[in-house]
Amino acid sequence: MTTAGTLETVSENCSHGGVQGVYRHASASTGTQMTFSVFVPPHADGAKLPVLWFLSGLTCTQANVTEKGEFRAACAEHGVIFVAPDTSPRGEDVPDDEAYDFGQGAGFYVDATQAPWAQHFQMRSYIERELPALLAEHFPADMQRQAISGHSMGGHGALTIGLRNPDRFRSISAFSPIVSPLNCPWGDKALGGYLGDNRSDWREYDACALIEDGARHANLLVDQGTADNFLEEQLRTELLVDACKSAGMPAEIRMQPGYDHSYYFISTFMAEHVGWHARHLQG
Ligand SMILES: N[C@@H](CCC(=O)N[C@@H](CS)C(=O)NCC(=O)O)C(=O)O
């Protein structure tokens, strides 16, 4: 048996009849310690449960959604494991940028190719390969039943990782996602920095471009607040609506009146997202 790695328990708390944990491990992908949280709902001995991944946004660690996401009651009701990774490698040896939207806390779920970022910023490999192996080894996770969600930069992560891996993820949802890094200032800065100037290299990290290039998924749900101050310049939900329409891909993209970009918005619709994923994860 291959060993995916050892895990250090940072904290474990009983919650909703299950266990909310925070764990740390040495990541081969990023070459750093990485922290993530896992909620395991109550379950019968020996049972394997489906998994919902949640990728967070700019400035976040695993803690933001864990503390403010209000997912646990729904995950306990539906018997779904909830996994929240960090958004980037961190540490004194890891390069950073003064700004909040590039560098530590802003990994954009890519495998960087450009110096000095490439050495540690390998978040695509971390989320797509390394962390799933660790999860399968240490938790009662049924890796045949996975779904993915996320917020903002993490919504971009959920859409792109989900669209690239339709056989692994039965459903994809996102809250206020960056739908096209090719067409917004956050994307220009981050993907330019991590991947270089050749914009064709960015397409596998752009949900709209992936759909234009042929990626499809049958189960896609997006919620976007109309009072989100990042909507017009950075998130640009309309580009995803257009891409899905042009491709003939059904998607439920909902504009939610009055909601902003915060966890007050996310937590309002979180239980609905968990329930929607749980339906796709049955059987
Ligand atoms: N207000 C933030 C902008 C970034 C932001 O809104 N981040 C979102 C994700 S894109 C978030 O969830 N922030 C942390 C939180 O609300 O807990 C800042 O200027 O640092």
The mean pLDDT value of the chain amounts to 97
Q: Give 254's strand partners.
A: 223
> Left if phi > 0, otherwise alpha if psi is -120 to 50, otherwise beta: which for 105?
left
- Whether the pLDDT of residue 1 is over 60: the answer is no
Q: What is the pLDDT of residue 77?
A: 98
In short, whether 246's Cβ falls inside 6 Å of ligand 1 is: no
Ligand 1 lined by 58 (C-beta under 6 Å)? yes
Ligand 1 atom nearest residue 152's Cα: 10
* pLDDT at residue number 2: 43
Residue nearest to atom 2 of ligand 1 (CA): 59
Q: Which residues of 61-86 are buried (b: 16+ CB within 10 A; e: fewer)?
A: bbebbbeebbbbebbbebbbbbbbbb
Question: Whole-angstrom distance between the N-terminal and C-terminal Cα of the chain?
Answer: 27
pLDDT value at residue 283: 79
Q: For ligand 1, is residue 178 a contact (CB within 6 Å)?
A: no
152 catalytically annotated: yes
Catalytic annotation present for 261: yes
59 within ligand 1 shell (Cβ under 6 A): yes
pLDDT, tens digit, for every residue of 75-87?
999 999 999 999 9
pTM of the model: 0.97
Residue nearest to atom 9 of ligand 1 (CA): 57
pLDDT in tens, 121-145: 999 999 999 999 999 999 999 999 9
Q: What is the predicted pLDDT for the residue at 4?
A: 60
Q: Per the omega criterion (within 30 degrees of 0), is the bond before 116 cis?
A: yes
Q: What's the pLDDT at 115?
A: 98
**DSSP letter string, 8-28:** EEEEEEEETTEEEEEEEEE-T
The DSSP bridge pattern shows strands 141-150 and 49-55 to be parallel
- Cα 75 to middle of ligand 1, angstroms: 24
- 95 pLDDT above the threshold of 50: yes
Q: Which atom of ligand 1 is nearest to the CA of 153?
A: 10
**Alpha helix stretches (DSSP H) within the chain:** 62-68, 72-78, 123-125, 131-138, 153-164, 185-195, 207-212, 237-247, 263-281
Given a contact cutoff of 8 angstroms between Cβ atoms, the answer to whether 72 and 16 are in contact is: yes
pLDDT tens digits for range 107-122: 999 999 999 999 999 9
For 195: left if phi > 0, alpha if psi spans -120 to 50, otherwise beta; the answer is alpha
Q: How far is the CA of 6 from the centre of ligand 1 (A)?
A: 31
Q: Check pocket membership of 15 for ligand 1, CB cut-off 6 A.
A: no
Q: Quick one: average pLDDT of 215-234?
A: 98
Alpha carbon 73 to its chain centroid, in Å, reads 20
CA atoms in the 13 A half-sphere facing the CB of 37: 24
